[in-house]
Structure 1
């Protein structure tokens, strides 16, 4: 059995504490709203969420799989790099994950914005509209958004008659995007996984539902490519449909480039094997 390393142990503890907080504080809502990563255009966004979301999880299976991967791959990577470099890699991968995923959201957001640009709407009014809670259970409904928009438009003296069907569709898309949240250590762990693969290219890995050993140098790029395809097409291969696939890609690429730089400039090559 792999003996857990110190930094990995502390990361596991922090993630578990945060998960307990999610379940117990504010009836499972308040803690999540504070510390999950909200889209920056949302009024719920706070700067600390850029870091805290890395220690949040959306459910039992989510944290279980992430913490298992952190223990399995994080321990040998920390043993090779040392605690300080490992922690730098881990947090940097999480930041890379946020950067790519939020950048992807921004692209979609501003594409939708083109549908309302002609309205020349005040930025404060727009912020209030895209922050409307139009959800009904797991779904966001146009009729709720339309109903809630009315009083806000009146408050700002905006003529609702100027909004046509195309404009409303854009408002709806922007509202959906603005309500996106990110939680989980997956981006960090993908960076660690990339590092593990670079240090152990011939290690044999397997998916739980596909028990066929595949060398890390093929397995890890394959996982990243599938995440990229899923992010671009919406086609899920082995993760829930609400997975932030671009965050996986961003974390993995960040981990790869950090390790490439260290390998090229700082480390004795013999330490990698």
Structure 2
């Protein structure tokens, strides 16, 4: 059913093996943390690519690898495909981390301002802007704080909650090979644009170039307008596709040298 080329096979096996030894401790140590987190380690830029948050996450990424990867490896050869895979994966990690740094810096500044001027209105604004995914579990406290906004205990509790939310967000690791996989999909669409692919959902044929356009547009939209409850690293996907586009275009411009 699938043609497993050498590098694709090794990447697949490594991801599956790592999945079976992955636990919360491994994810905390080797998942990619924010540059602002005390848990950040440069090696996480690489190791996060072999970690997944669940079987569905692993399955979807590996399906993408074994469907689109072999043709690229056959076209480029093992060494170039390996370079491409890690180049796009690292590019995705850097773009995600840059956007995350900007977002977390904004949250940090809001936390600092709240520590100087705590109050119900400021707390409600913080939750709306930076922690909407926490709203449901905070409803009892929000109602109590609204009823007694000048109560010193409510103010102290609100400070602790704001600090804890920031700590949770800045220390939340990103895992998965999705950045590299989206890079593989982008390269496939650029190099084999008219190849007919048959989707499972919905069960229709589509040319590779249109699939890439759809994925790219969806990820950009989701990355810009996503809800905070969306736990998908859209900017990692965008980064993988962007760095793939740059590298493929560069290699094509050097065709006389490389082919």
**Do both proteins adopt the same fold according to a TM-score greater than 0.5, normalized to the shorter chain?**
yes
1:215 aligns with 2:207: yes
How many residue pairs align between the two structures? 229
1:152-211: CA deviation from partner (whole Å, max 9, x where unpaired): xxxxxxxx9x9896x778645532430321111110011111111111000123443222
Sort the Cα spacing of 1:116 and 1:243 in 2 relative to 1 into closer, same or farther, 3 A.
closer
1:92 aligns with 2:81: no
1:64 aligns with 2:59: yes
User: Structure 1: which 5+ residue stretches go unaligned?
Assistant: 23-27, 122-137, 144-159
Work out whether residues 61 and 181 of structure 2, in 8 Å CA contact, stay in contact via their aligned partners in 1. yes
Q: Give, in whole Å, the separation in 2 of the partners of 1:177 and 1:164.
A: 18
Q: Give, in whole Å, the separation in 1 of the partners of 2:111 and 2:223.
A: 26
Work out whether residues 78 and 86 of structure 1, in 8 Å CA contact, stay in contact via their aligned partners in 2. yes
Shift of 1:267: 5.1
Q: Give, in whole Å, the separation in 2 of the partners of 1:77 and 1:47.
A: 29
Work out whether residues 68 and 188 of structure 2, in 8 Å CA contact, stay in contact via their aligned partners in 1. yes
Sort the Cα spacing of 1:110 and 1:206 in 2 relative to 1 into closer, same or farther, 3 A.
farther
Sort the Cα spacing of 1:119 and 1:69 in 2 relative to 1 into closer, same or farther, 3 A.
closer
Q: How is 1:3-18 mapped onto 2 (pairs within 5 angstroms)?
A: 3-18=3-18
The alignment partner of 1:61 has SS state of helix
Q: Give, in whole Å, the separation in 2 of the partners of 1:204 and 1:65.
A: 20
Partner of 1:243: 232
Q: Which runs of 4+ in 1 moved over 4 A?
A: 116-121, 138-143, 162-165, 167-170
The alignment partner of 2:203 has SS state of strand
Q: Give the helix-richer structure, 1 or 2.
A: 2
Work out whether residues 142 and 172 of structure 1, in 8 Å CA contact, stay in contact via their aligned partners in 2. no
Q: Give the strand-richer structure, 1 or 2.
A: 1
Partner of 2:226: 234
Q: Give, in whole Å, the separation in 2 of the partners of 1:178 and 1:75.
A: 37
Sort the Cα spacing of 1:163 and 1:49 in 2 relative to 1 into closer, same or farther, 3 A.
same
User: Structure 2: which 5+ residue stretches go unaligned?
Assistant: 117-132, 140-152
Work out whether residues 93 and 239 of structure 2, in 8 Å CA contact, stay in contact via their aligned partners in 1. yes
Sort the Cα spacing of 1:207 and 1:3 in 2 relative to 1 into closer, same or farther, 3 A.
closer
Q: Give, in whole Å, the separation in 2 of the partners of 1:50 and 1:61.
A: 22
Q: Give, in whole Å, the separation in 2 of the partners of 1:225 and 1:207.
A: 18
TM-score by length of 1: 0.74
1:110 aligns with 2:105: yes
Q: 1:41 aligns with which of 33, 36, 41?
A: 36
Q: How is 1:158-197 mapped onto 2 (pairs within 5 angstroms)?
A: 171=163, 174-197=166-189
Q: Give, in whole Å, the separation in 2 of the partners of 1:118 and 1:182.
A: 27
Work out whether residues 97 and 248 of structure 1, in 8 Å CA contact, stay in contact via their aligned partners in 2. yes
Task: Let me know the Cα RMSD of the aligned residues.
Answer: 3.1
Work out whether residues 28 and 173 of structure 2, in 8 Å CA contact, stay in contact via their aligned partners in 1. no
**Of 211-220 and 168-177, the range deviating more from structure 2:** 168-177
Q: 1:76 aligns with which of 65, 71, 81?
A: 71
